[in-house]
Chains A and B, each alone.
Chain A
């Protein structure tokens, strides 16, 4: 049963949201024991919403279970961004995306595991346990929206997950778990209610089992929000009205095919063939700034992150410690030493250093300038092509014990293919395209110019439909 059929059945009372959600939550609880994809399953809140849906029977997502990355605020539900320091923080407000989803009858069933504040590529920096890959539990789900991709792959019911990407946190786990994940143009989806990692890079986007589900969800969450000044005032687009890709020209950036594992490359090449068969024209292009994307991204991201994390002093909300005794500075150090994870501490220190006077122009300001050049790099390429296509990640999901042996710099390097478009704020999507020899998912990345979501979705959908036909 696809999402549309399900919503129809809820609306005409063939199904009851309360029954469905009860089943879904039961399943989620079981899966969570095995895969650890949830920080919180909010059964009570979910059933409350389900009862409301059964009463009203309306909305484009009436009764659809939705899971949400822990960093996105849901009213009255712990929203801790995967961090111990925010344990117990139940926001008194809904994020704008949550508001819009609830208005369409969606039911928030839980908050998914993630790297603390999004700091990671494998979701291993989670204070609430590491989510495990549905295809091989000894392997990673990817990060930082790991729990989102994990539950999306596991779900055998209509379901959408809301993830968030700063440098690849939607694409990466979608690739490792074999699901569709869209990172929209920066500013298309309101960040109001997102617990910040790096505000100038953070983007909220849907993860789902099909292109159409992603598009349906984007229709609901996209659009200007007066509460969030970086949202764009754009014309309303129906993202489910896919274009014919026949006359599309897609660029293959040569820098994005280097150091890619042969397994992944072979699958992406096959996908390119399928798209060629649909009439898509491919050209080789070059993104010369690629060698600078990792340092530029990490400097920009950690600088902002280190300021964002400063507010977490548990005075007004959160974990709480007795701050009435002794010196405030001591309280502060003690609390933060205890409740921040190692990677969070590392990024606070790096970010504080990068914006210190004397280093600021050398690191923070330079990263900002390089970022402008990277945007320019993409802009030039998009004068010639509709989209770019590359592998989403360079390799399929690594084993968790292998990841533990990597040093931070090696981990940062694994983001090479996703941070460029994330820095540029352009839309991108992971499209699953088969499995490698170990049976692990592979996907390709479609990237378009600012506000080119419809192109990204059209390529994804065309490929999805074509493969369905081949397999039929």
Chain B
């Protein structure tokens, strides 16, 4: 067998921030008809000047701190020059020499150990407008329209060192990063996350996969490129020249855009329209004092307060902050935390994924879910039926009583179950005597018979409980 090929990956991640207004003007960041969320500033009209959105800046500082970065004493913005029709000023206001954070790290779990991924920098910048290539893509469309609504949307860019050796580590990292951004309240899961990824195998030149949009595509692009380069390397083929590639969502492949001859020259200068931001220790403290609980702290708290396992807490917190929030809301109403956690991370989550929904968009509320689980907990509804009904809970947002009524599902009282048990016991004398003679399997047969009689509506646990007491 050929020895496996060593691979290194580095990332540049752009995440859209969730502030109400843009980074350098007061235009709203929201869905709107093309070119309506615009003003003289984000359109770059001659004479207009940018002014820094304080909230964006503070969010940037929080991100830097959460990624264990050093926050410089004097922070400023720079102009990055390049010509493109989606850029209203033909320069982008970004950060170059001294961004909000430098030299940080994030620790991820890898094969049971801690793996430290170094963060080179975190900086703030404005998003350009959006090009709409009508009737095709950039090469095939007849003409292109520009929508400047997006121009000036605040972005935070996070650049890692090339510390990953495979895409799975990247998945871990991105999940954690996303959870951190969500927990800092600077990013919503519905917002866009983009990445540029640098990948190379030992002995080969670096390939940059540019502008991959969305968490899933980032992973698919990385896996494709990782496998492509490794397979080639195993056959002794190495990439000789630095290359820029693009990932296609349609073909699920990366394709070459250009061979990089040299680094682009952006001619950076200091942004002279924005004043320096001086970070006194007092100002830094004011910002970080308002920082909310980070995911790792939350997991620890879940283990401690709700007595959940590490793994379950991890799923709750890292899947989607809103899911963890949902769990905590439910926990105020139902005290069987392990049942709650178990149902949230398995059946509920499966249901949401199946519907391609998230907990925020879904119609289910903590109250509905808690009422539902209460029924299960009391044995008034079987788990088996519950697994079916939770789907309706999610898709209709109706309460469990209404759903059960609609399906004519009876709430099985102990006395009702007892009656059926008596009937079943009479009918199956052999099984009863087998059980009494020490055959424990016979009890399962009897429970099955009872269940059949209840049209599978009663809780197995409840039947077992009653049957045992009857047979004593």
Chain A residues in contact with chain B, CB under 8 A?
72-73, 79, 81, 86, 89, 91-93, 95, 191-196, 198-200, 226-230, 303-304, 306-307, 310-313, 315-317, 324, 328-329, 332, 352, 355-357, 360, 364, 368
Contact = CB atoms under 8 A, between A and B. Distances in A.
Contact of B267 (A228, A230, A360): A360
Of listed B146, B272, B274, residue having the most chain A CB within 10 A? B272
A316 B86 CA distance: 11
Given A92-B40, A310-B90, A356-B265, A317 B45 contact: yes
A198 B265 CA distance: 21
Nearest to A94: B47
Contacts of A199: 49, 272-273
A328 B266 CA distance: 19
Interface residues of B, number: 32
Interface string B246-262: 00000000000000000
A128 B85 CA distance: 29
Contact of B265 (A81, A311, A357): A357
8 contacts: A79-B47, A86-B46, A229-B51, A230-B273, A230-B274, A310-B83, A317-B46, A332-B83
Given A307-B91, A310-B83, A313-B90, A355 B49 contact: no
B46 A312 contact: yes
Interface of B: 40, 43-52, 79, 81, 83, 85, 88-91, 143, 146, 263, 265-270, 272-275
Given A307-B267, A368-B270, A229 B49 contact: yes
Contact of A355 (B45, B90, B267): B267
A91 B46 contact: yes
B85 to A, nearest CB: 6
Nearest to B52: A229
B83 to A, nearest CB: 6
Contacts of B43: 316
Ranked 5 nearest A-B pairs via Cβ: A310-B90, A199-B272, A200-B272, A73-B47, A355-B267
Contact of B79 (A191, A226, A307): A307
A79 B40 CA distance: 14
Contacts of A193: 47-48
A93 B272 CA distance: 22
B85 A315 contact: yes
B267 A356 contact: yes
Nearest to A195: B46
Contacts of A196: 46-47, 273
A56 B272 CA distance: 39
B55 to A, nearest CB: 15
A310 B45 contact: no
Contacts, number: 106
Nearest to B79: A307
B75 to A, nearest CB: 13
Contacts of A306: 267
Contacts of A303: 269
Contacts of A368: 270
B262 to A, nearest CB: 9
A311 B49 CA distance: 13
B51 A228 contact: yes
A192 B267 contact: no
A89 B46 CA distance: 9
Contact of B90 (A72, A191, A311): A311
Contact of A229 (B45, B90, B270, B273): B273
Nearest to B271: A199
Contacts of A317: 45-46
A226 B91 contact: no
A324 B143 contact: yes
A95 B49 CA distance: 10
Contacts of B47: 72-73, 79, 91, 93, 95, 192-196
A94 to B, nearest CB: 9
A226 B266 CA distance: 30
Contact of B275 (A230, A311, A357): A230
A356 B264 CA distance: 10
Nearest to A317: B45
Contact of B45 (A313, A316, A360): A316
Contacts of A310: 81, 83, 89-91
A379 to B, nearest CB: 19
Contacts of B45: 91-93, 316-317
Nearest to B264: A357
A311 B274 contact: no
Contacts of B46: 73, 79, 81, 86, 89, 91, 195-196, 311-312, 317
B119 to A, nearest CB: 24
